[in-house]
Amino acid sequence: MYDLAIIGGGPAGYVAAERAGAAGLSVILFEKNSLGGVCLNEGCIPTKTLLYSAKVYNYALHGDRYGVSIDNAKADFSEIMARKNKVVKKLVTGVKSAMKSAGVEVRSESAHILGGSEGRFSVSSESGDIECRKLLICTGSMAVVPPIPG
């Protein structure tokens, strides 16, 4: 039986897992996609990386405003995307390393709560069922526009 099971490996889930593992708890973390969640893999980090490349390119195009002239500045989209992928991969690898260092078991799969009561929960996943004393649900959220007329 695990001390703590966490469903969702985004910022809330992986930080909780790391802290709990470092405190000596037996922890299992379920994440059906990539560790780090939307921010690290699809949102904040990738978009900021792409924006920075665009900013550097813009500086190159307009460097003469700052007394710097750059001839034939070009943006190579495939290189920009490769850099973005490299940044994301490095950060995901860092999260995986932190989980390993904290002794957290990570399962790259979906998990479903079967039931339970305080002090004993059952969770089902593709590789089998587990039991835990505490359960933390960190599955994120989605924006929804309410159906309000007008």
pLDDT at 142 over 90: no
> What's the whole-number mean pLDDT along residues 56-64?
94
pLDDT at 80 over 90: yes
Q: How far apart are CA 138 and CA 13, in angstroms?
A: 5
| Sign of torsion over alpha carbons 120, 124, 130, 132 | negative
Pairing outcome for strands 27-30 and 105-107: parallel
Asked if 39 contacts 143 with a C-beta cutoff of 8 angstroms, the reply is: no
User: Tell me, what's the pLDDT at 141?
Assistant: 84
Residues sharing a CB contact under 8 Å with residue 61, sequence separation 6 or more, in sequence order: 70, 73
Other beta carbons within 10 Å of 102 = 19
Average pLDDT, the chain: 96
**pLDDT digits over 1-15, tens only?**
999 999 999 999 999
Other beta carbons within 10 Å of 92 = 17
In the chain, domain spans = 2-137
Per CATH, the number for 2-137 is 3.50.50.60
Strand partners of residue 124: 112, 129
Q: What is the pTM of this model?
A: 0.86
Q: In this predicted structure, which of 61-65, 72-76, 111-115, 143-147 has the lowest mean pLDDT?
A: 143-147
